[in-house]
């Protein structure tokens, strides 16, 4: 009996095999030397129309003339019109096909090559053009220009650039594997979007990529922070009004839906809520040197961000507490200059009296018509006065009032339990600045974020159906220059109603200048939605972050720990409760159901409970990153960490499911041996008929050659000995049993 280590729990979705267009050789040409070497995408926004230019460079690396058809998948959801196609300066004669005609071409290529990567494109249209022969060693450019209408979601336009073949890869053999796996083939791809009338839009955001946004002489310019990989989704919030709201949804067949609500504030000064700002700075001896210098520069930056309507208080603590003034100080230019001189005179010495520091932080309550903000920065554990973190937290919470608390822990000698509890109760956040990081830069980011509050005490007051499992569970305040993103789940209509699409309005309330204001947007929660498939994993990251913080603040709980592990395995995310499994021995012959139970069983060794030290700070920072995740890029670092630790493919994660390689078959972890198994011959008529009836299978069948996917009442396996055809009645029954309805 062979044994392996469980090497990978979750793998990143692989990059597209054929990013955008490719050149397909004529049938019967096994040797083909044309490869794509790079690409550029330029998008111009005019109103609701996106004018897209795609340039792709192809090189003939073979020994003879290269020729074939240039194929480009059309966006499946967009209204597409008027294209032009060139090879160099010479215009090509091409044809466009709708999704139904294009399906036959995709299927023919899949059958001929026995390569399922293209099945992800089923449902897309197609442009096809014969390219002129390319000489050996020659590189030629193909240019495609087309336009499409962007859909409007609430108060934003959505632009999507579908790469195609999202999970595809090149089959190869890997030592230790019992079947083929797929690895990504990528080409450099640059992307640039320009809106000439930039004033039409607030700053764009993307749930799939980090963006670089610039405004230049009225133009809005958007680029990914790095080369474009994977499918790109960009939301362009429309200017106008105090806030704009957008709701995007994803709903797989047979389960509750997911939604992402984004609230984007106006950037005008008039929208700003006046603030009462209290800063409490640790100046104990351990802060000496560069830390105190960086903290003082950051504090001066905060003073520079104050507006005429704001008030402030400054306190510094070591063994005792000193204050700039006992009461509130108006943010006049004279008082700010005087406060800067006080800050510049601070020196680091003495112990750490956190109890007195917290008492001073909450000594004065703010004006109820202002946003009361407390910034608390420390680099040490309490050494003077009360030192019990639970007692300190209780004392602080009794005096906190309505203050929003933003805490900074500098270095590893901080109590993460205390700081996280302060910020969690105070509807703020805690950020940990590790020894190799810059205190000024970290604090400066927060200063910029909270400089202009727009709305406080936000709540969803009305929705057309029941929304559940919302993260964050309490909405934070809304600040100019930063969008607020909420993730959650939804089911059908009213209680007892059948599953169906639901239309209506979503109402958000918030307070500004002592008044409650209402904002609404028309929304649709569909019965089924394949697009926006990044939403479930971002929702799961938020959930894991909230559950992890719950354990930290309330103590170990086996049910919560199991929920964290189950969510992490279901959505392919790294947590401190699942990463230990990477090194645990695994017998490949174990049944997937047994392995699943083993993964979800209580841990043999309890999770570390230390509240200070390097491990505690790193765990707290990971949990914060999850709780605040807004894009797939924000959780990619944790996934890369898992991938780096992998030694070989015994498991893989695809589209929200974990598969185990068992006797050469990738077997769904959730498959039970009691389930009936329907075996389908790959690339047969039955194979393509099922893909059309059950499009949710595309992700798994395009990634894995031999795979068993678990359904509600039946599992479906790809098997060379499986059935090649299915009658209509058999197809209907199989689809119903797989979805459970």
Is residue 510 within 8 Å of residue 478, measured between CB atoms? yes
**What's the average model confidence in pLDDT over 250-263?**
88
**What's the average model confidence in pLDDT over 12-19?**
34
- Looking at the chain, the whole-number percentage of residues with pLDDT higher than 90 is 26
Task: Name residue, tokens 């197809």.
Answer: 731
Task: Name residue, tokens 């249209």.
Answer: 125
Question: Domain with 155 in it: what CATH number?
Answer: 2.60.40.3680
Q: Where are the beta strands (DSSP E) in 108-242?
A: 125-134, 139-149, 152-153, 156-161, 170-172, 181-183, 189-195, 211-216, 219-224, 232-237
Tell me which of 10 and 728 has the higher pLDDT: 728
Q: Are residues 368 and 423 in the same domain?
A: yes
**What's the average model confidence in pLDDT over 577-597?**
48
Which of 386-390, 665-669, 715-719 shows the highest mean pLDDT? 715-719
Window from 296-310, 565-579, 633-647, 649-663 with minimum mean pLDDT: 633-647
- pLDDT tops 80 at residue 181: no
- pLDDT tops 50 at residue 494: no
Q: Are residues 223 and 92 in the same domain?
A: yes
Q: Would residue 157 count as lying in a domain?
A: yes
- Looking at the chain, the whole-number percentage of residues with pLDDT higher than 70 is 83
CA pair distance 190, 167, nearest whole angstrom: 20
Task: For residue 712, give its domain range.
Answer: 671-739
Q: Would residue 575 count as lying in a domain?
A: no
Q: Would residue 172 count as lying in a domain?
A: yes
Q: At a CB cut-off of 8 Å and minimum separation 6, what does 74 contact?
A: 80, 96, 102, 124, 125, 126, 127, 146
pLDDT in tens, 334-362: 999 999 999 999 999 999 898 899 999 89
Domain stops at, among 219, 241, 263:
241
Query: Residue 729: phi, psi to the nearest 5?
Result: -65, -40
Is residue 508 within 8 Å of residue 523, measured between CB atoms? no
Q: Are residues 215 and 290 in the same domain?
A: no
CA pair distance 478, 294, nearest whole angstrom: 27
**What's the average model confidence in pLDDT over 562-584?**
68
Under the banding of pLDDT at 50, 70 and 90, the label for residue 164 is very low
**pLDDT the model gives residue 576:** 67
**pLDDT the model gives residue 228:** 79
Q: Are residues 219 and 132 in the same domain?
A: yes
pLDDT in tens, 441-450: 888 888 888 8
Question: Domain with 425 in it: what CATH number?
Answer: 3.40.50.410
**pLDDT the model gives residue 254:** 72
How far apart, in Å, do the first and last CA atoms of the chain sit? 40
**pLDDT the model gives residue 61:** 87
**pLDDT the model gives residue 656:** 66
Q: Are residues 40 and 141 in the same domain?
A: yes
Closest by Cα among 151, 234, 242, 249 to 463: 249
Q: Would residue 500 count as lying in a domain?
A: no
- Give the three-state DSSP class for 322: strand
**pLDDT the model gives residue 332:** 93
Q: Are residues 301 and 209 in the same domain?
A: no
Task: Count up the domains in the chain and report the number.
Answer: 3
CA pair distance 189, 155, nearest whole angstrom: 30
- Indicate yes or no: pTM above 0.95: no
Q: Would residue 100 count as lying in a domain?
A: yes
Apex 731 CA angle, 728 and 735, nearest 5: 140
Q: What are the distances in angstroms from CA 631 to CA 115, 472, 529, 537?
A: 31, 15, 19, 10
Q: Are residues 183 and 56 in the same domain?
A: yes
**What's the average model confidence in pLDDT over 165-191?**
47
Under the banding of pLDDT at 50, 70 and 90, the label for residue 227 is confident
**What's the average model confidence in pLDDT over 672-681?**
90
Q: Are residues 339 and 405 in the same domain?
A: yes
**pLDDT the model gives residue 51:** 92
Q: Are residues 153 and 218 in the same domain?
A: yes
Q: At a CB cut-off of 8 Å and minimum separation 6, what does 522 contact?
A: 154, 503, 504, 505
Residue 733: Cβ-neighbour burial (10 angstroms; 0-12, 13-18, 19+): middle
**pLDDT the model gives residue 242:** 85
Question: Could you give the residue ranges of the DSSP H alpha helices within 502-613?
Answer: 535-554, 558-571, 592-600
Domain stops at, among 401, 432, 451:
451
Q: Would residue 481 count as lying in a domain?
A: no
Q: Would residue 155 count as lying in a domain?
A: yes
Q: Are residues 220 and 313 in the same domain?
A: no
Q: Are residues 319 and 440 in the same domain?
A: yes
Q: Would residue 83 count as lying in a domain?
A: yes
Q: Are residues 205 and 287 in the same domain?
A: no
Q: What are the distances in angstroms from CA 559 to CA 402, 481, 544, 548, 584?
A: 32, 39, 13, 12, 22
- pLDDT tops 60 at residue 496: no
**pLDDT the model gives residue 268:** 60
612: its two tokens? 């200070």
- pLDDT tops 80 at residue 16: no
Under the banding of pLDDT at 50, 70 and 90, the label for residue 523 is very high
Domain stops at, among 241, 260, 287:
241
Host H or E run for residue 396:
helix 389-399
CA pair distance 157, 277, nearest whole angstrom: 36
What's the mean per-residue pLDDT of the chain?
Answer: 80
Query: Residue 714: phi, psi to the nearest 5?
Result: -155, 150
Apex 229 CA angle, 226 and 233, nearest 5: 90
């Amino acid at each position: 009996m062979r044994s392996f280590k469980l090497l990978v729990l979750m793998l990143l979705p692989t990059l597209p095999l054929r990013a955008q267009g490719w050149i397909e050789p004529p049938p019967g040409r096994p040797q083909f030397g044309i490869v794509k070497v790079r690409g550029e995408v330029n998008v111009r926004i005019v109103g609701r129309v996106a004018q897209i230019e795609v340039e792709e460079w192809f090189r003939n690396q073979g020994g003879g003339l290269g020729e074939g058809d240039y194929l480009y998948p059309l966006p499946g959801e967009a209204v597409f019109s008027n294209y032009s196609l060139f090879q160099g300066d010479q215009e090509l004669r091409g044809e466009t096909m709708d999704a139904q005609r294009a399906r036959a071409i995709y299927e023919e290529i899949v059958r001929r090559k026995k390569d399922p990567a293209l099945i992800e494109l089923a449902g897309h249209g197609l442009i096809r053009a014969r390219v002129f022969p390319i000489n050996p060693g020659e590189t030629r450019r193909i240019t495609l220009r087309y336009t499409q209408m962007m859909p409007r979601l609430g108060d934003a336009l959505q632009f999507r650039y579908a790469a195609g073949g999202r999970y595809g890869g090149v089959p190869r053999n890997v030592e230790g594997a019992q079947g083929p796996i797929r690895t990504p083939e990528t080409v450099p791809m640059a992307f640039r979007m320009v809106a000439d009338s930039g004033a039409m839009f607030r700053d764009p955001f993307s749930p799939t990529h980090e963006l670089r946004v610039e405004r230049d002489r009225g133009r809005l310019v958007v680029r990914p922070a790095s080369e474009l990989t994977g499918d790109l989704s960009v939301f362009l919030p429309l200017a106008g009004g105090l806030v704009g709201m957008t709701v995007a949804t994803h709903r797989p067949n047979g389960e509750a839906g997911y939604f992402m609500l984004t609230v984007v504030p106006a950037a005008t000064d008039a929208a700003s809520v006046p603030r009462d700002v209290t800063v409490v700075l640790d100046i104990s001896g351990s802060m000496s040197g560069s830390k105190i210098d960086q903290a003082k520069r950051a504090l001066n930056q905060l003073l520079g961000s104050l507006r005429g309507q704001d008030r402030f208080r400054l306190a510094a603590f070591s063994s005792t507490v000193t204050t700039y003034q006992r009461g509130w100080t108006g943010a006049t230019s004279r008082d700010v200059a005087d406060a800067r001189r006080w800050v510049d005179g601070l020196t680091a010495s003495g112990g750490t009296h956190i109890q007195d520091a917290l008492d001073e932080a909450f000594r004065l309550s703010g004006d109820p018509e202002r946003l009361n903000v407390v910034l608390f920065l420390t680099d040490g554990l309490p050494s003077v006065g009360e030192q019990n973190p639970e007692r300190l937290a209780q004392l602080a919470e009794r005096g906190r009032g309505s203050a929003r608390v933003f805490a900074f822990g500098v270095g590893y000698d901080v109590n993460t339990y205390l700081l996280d509890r302060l910020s969690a109760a105070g509807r703020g956040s805690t950020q940990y600045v590790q020894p190799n990081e810059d205190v000024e830069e970290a604090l400066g980011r927060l200063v910029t974020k909270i400089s202009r509050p727009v709305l406080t005490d936000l709540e969803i007051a009305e929705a057309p159906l029941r929304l559940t499992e919302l993260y964050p569970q309490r909405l934070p305040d809304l600040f100019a220059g930063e969008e607020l993103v909420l993730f959650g789940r939804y089911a059908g209509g009213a209680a007892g109603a059948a599953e169906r699409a639901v239309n209506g309005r979503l109402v958000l309330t918030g307070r500004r200048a002592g008044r409650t204001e209402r904002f609404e947007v028309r929304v649709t929660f569909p019965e089924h939605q394949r697009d926006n498939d990044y939403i479930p994993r971002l929702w799961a990251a938020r959930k894991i972050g909230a559950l992890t913080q719950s354990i930290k603040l309330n103590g170990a709980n086996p049910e919560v720990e199991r929920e964290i592990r189950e969510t992490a395995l279901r959505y392919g995310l790294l947590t401190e409760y699942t990463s230990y499994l990477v090194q645990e021995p695994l017998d490949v012959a174990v049944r997937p159901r047994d392995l699943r139970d083993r993964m979800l069983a209580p841990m043999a060794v309890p999770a570390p409970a230390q509240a200070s030290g390097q491990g505690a700070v790193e765990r707290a920072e990971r949990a914060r990153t999850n709780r605040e995740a807004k894009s797939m890029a924000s959780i990619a670092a944790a996934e890369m960490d898992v991938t780096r630790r992998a030694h070989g493919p015994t498991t893989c994660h695809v589209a929200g499911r974990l598969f185990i390689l068992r006797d050469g078959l990738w077997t769904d972890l959730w498959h039970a041996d009691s389930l009936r198994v329907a075996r389908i011959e790959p690339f047969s008529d039955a194979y393509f008929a099922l893909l059309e009836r059950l499009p949710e299978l595309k992700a798994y069948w395009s990634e894995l050659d031999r795979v068993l996917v678990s359904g509600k009442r039946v599992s479906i396996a790809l098997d060379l000995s499986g059935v090649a055809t299915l009658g209509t009645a058999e197809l209907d029954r199989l689809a119903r049993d797989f979805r459970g309805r």
